[in-house]
Amino acid sequence: MDKGTFKVVKGMMLAVMGGSMLLLSPFSFSADTEKAVVAAAQPKAQAKSWQEFQSVPGKCSMKFPVEPEHVSEKMSMPEEGYDLKYDAYISSTDPKTIFMLLIAQYPDFVDERFAHMSLEAFLNGILTHNPGNQLIFADLILVQGHEALDFFIRSGSVYFKGRAMMVKNSLYLMAMECEVQNYDETHYNTFVNSFALSK
């Protein structure tokens, strides 16, 4: 699986909510996150049913096809004057289909009052980073009372479909990347619709 989309999305996600709300230069995945993506894509025994996973950071739960690989990192953002923490959970149904939940935690002064602008900047960042990215659709919706963005992107022979949402000072990205011929709407819906915030 081409890991390029994950690099772009993670970079755009972290860039979306700089102190001035302007996109910053994309970041690349760390070596640990690269390893987690590769490990998640390795063939594994297929689960009989999707497994619910609880994330302490971000206080949420979500179903994955198999137990996800987990990476937690803190990135220093000296120009903005704060550190940004993110947790990535990566799982797969096969080597050509990867599911990811990425939770970025921003400082307390960043909140969802700017969700609409942040989500649009997030999408624009993905699209402009790679001229080969073609937007199939994008819709702003409400999920559990929070503004969210559903999007579907094609880049060559790869689909990238997901949902990004802002809750207080946390940005959640739930996404599936797969080869076009491996696209499975049922698996995608099982994944995205299983997301639940802890009460």
pLDDT, one tens digit for every residue, the chain (199 residues):
455 555 555 554 444 433 222 222 233 344 455 555 555 455 454 545 899 999 887 799 999 999 999 988 887 766 666 677 888 899 988 888 999 998 888 777 666 677 777 788 888 888 887 788 899 999 999 999 999 999 999 989 999 999 999 888 888 999 999 999 999 999 999 999 999 998 7
CB 48 within 8 A of CB 66: no
Rounded CA-CA distance 57/73 in Å is: 12
Which residues lie closer than 8 Å to 145 by C-beta, 6 or more apart? Answer: none
C-beta atoms surrounding 187 within 10 Å: 17
Query: Which superfamily does 4-39+51-197 belong to?
Result: Mog1/PsbP, alpha/beta/alpha sandwich (3.40.1000.10)
